[in-house]
Amino acid sequence: NNLLAIDIFYEDLNYNIIKQVPAYSLPNLLGEIGGLMGLFLGASILTLLEFFDLVILIILNRLGIYRQV
């Protein structure tokens, strides 16, 4: 006369662990930017430094500090 039926249901038998990781690290991001700049602009950091050097030489030449021989 004493009968008890218990049904136990699990929502999920397995659990998924979701871990967030950055898509790009800083070195990868800088490399990607440099690669795209070289691809689209045909420029590199060396080209930018040479352009900066040219601007400084022009300014110094106009001020009379630097003269080419």
How many angstroms separate the CA atoms of 45 and 14, rounded? 51
Report the predicted TM-score, pTM, of the whole model to 2 decimal places.
0.40
Q: Tens of pLDDT along 12-51?
A: 777 888 999 888 899 999 899 888 887 887 777 788 889 9
The answer to whether 37 touches 43, Cβ cutoff 8 Å, is yes
pLDDT band at 69; cut points 50, 70, 90: low
The DSSP letter of residue 30 is H
1: pLDDT strictly greater than 90: no
DSSP string, 39-58: HHH---HHHHHHHHHHHHHH
